[in-house]
Amino acid sequence: SYELTQPPSVSVSPGQTASITCSGDKLGGKYISWFQQKPGQSPVVLIYQDTKRPSGIPERFSGSNSGNAANSGNTAILTISGTQAMDEADYYCQAWDSSTAIFGGGTKLTVL
Amino acid sequence: EVQLVESGGGLVQPGGSLKLSCAASGFSISDSAMHWVRQASGKGLEWVGRVRSKVNSYATAYGASVKGRFTISRDDSKNTAYLQMNSLKTEDTAIYYCTREYSTGFYDIWGQGTMVTVSS
């Protein structure tokens, strides 16, 4: 079965850039979504179709995928520029495989 | 206000059954696929399954861990999706979320979740 791999945790200082990776076989050929989940809350979509941001999502959130960006390999990246304390949360990538939704294991972002 | 509201969660014994509902308001679910996603305490998100729209023949699909035990359905006239869970196991204990798959293939609306506890 298809798997998406994320680092369990990422730390970043306020104002700095955080990068969260999501790896999977031939990931560049799939569309990736990214979700943010804060404790006790439902997930919220930050990025869809690799790079698109829904209305209301701050511009500091951006996405890339190895199929259409500078980074190489089977990796998608969520980038948070100018990270704020409110960005501390769990982040999940998600892709479709044979009409099945696959989620990465999640990454806990700590803003130190 | 656009929202999804799940209900029907609770405590059930292993081997028992439970039916969850997901009521939509502020929009019609008729043109969308509706999905269920669960999350065990302290764990990540796990896709449970989905039911497609009428134009897609209400096709269903399920995750491997629930296939054959869970059934997803919908009633567009009530703007509601359902998750029937049979032969429940302790490992089915989780918060169950329903979510809409928007036309461009991403989850844009999530419910608040309903807790299911399977325990004797």
The residue of B6, B45, B100 whose CB has the most chain A CBs within 10 angstroms, and thus the best one to mutate to test that interface, is B45
pLDDT value of position B20: 98
Asked if B104 and A100 come within 8 Å (Cβ–Cβ), the reply is: no
Q: Tell me what pLDDT residue B100 has.
A: 97
Biggest alpha carbon–alpha carbon distance for chain A? 39
Residue B103 reports pLDDT greater than 50: yes
Task: List, for residues A10-57, the tens digit of each pLDDT value.
Answer: 999 999 999 999 999 888 888 999 999 999 999 999 999 999 999 999
- With an 8 Å Cβ cutoff, are B47 and A1 in contact? no
pLDDT score at A8: 98
| Predicted local confidence at residue A3, as pLDDT | 95
Which of A1-15, A61-75, B102-116 shows the lowest mean pLDDT across its residues?
Answer: A61-75
| B47 Cα to chain A: minimum distance (Å) | 6
Interval A98-105 mean pLDDT: 93
Mean pLDDT for the stretch of residues B52-80:
97
pLDDT digits (tens, 9 = 90+) for B9-34: 999 999 999 999 999 999 999 999 99
Which stretches does DSSP call E strand in chain B?
A: 3-7, 10-12, 18-25, 33-39, 45-51, 60-62, 70-75, 80-85, 94-101, 107-110, 114-118
Give pLDDT, residue A67: 56
The residues near A92 (Cβ < 8 Å, ≥ 6 apart) are A6, A34, A35, A37, A43, A103, A104, A106, A107, B44, B45
Would you call A101 and B47 a contact, using CB atoms and an 8 Å cutoff? yes
**Chain B residues touching residue A91 (CB < 8 angstroms):** none
Q: Is A38 on the interface with B (CB under 8 A)?
A: no
Average pLDDT, rounded, for chain A: 92
Q: Does A57 touch chain B (CB under 8 A)?
A: no
Band the pLDDT of A98: cuts 50, 70, 90. Answer: confident
pLDDT at A69 over 60: no
Task: Check if the beta carbon of residue A4 is closer than 8 Å to that of residue A23.
Answer: yes
Banded pLDDT at B104 (limits 50, 70, 90)? confident
A71: pLDDT confidence band, cut at 50, 70 and 90? very low
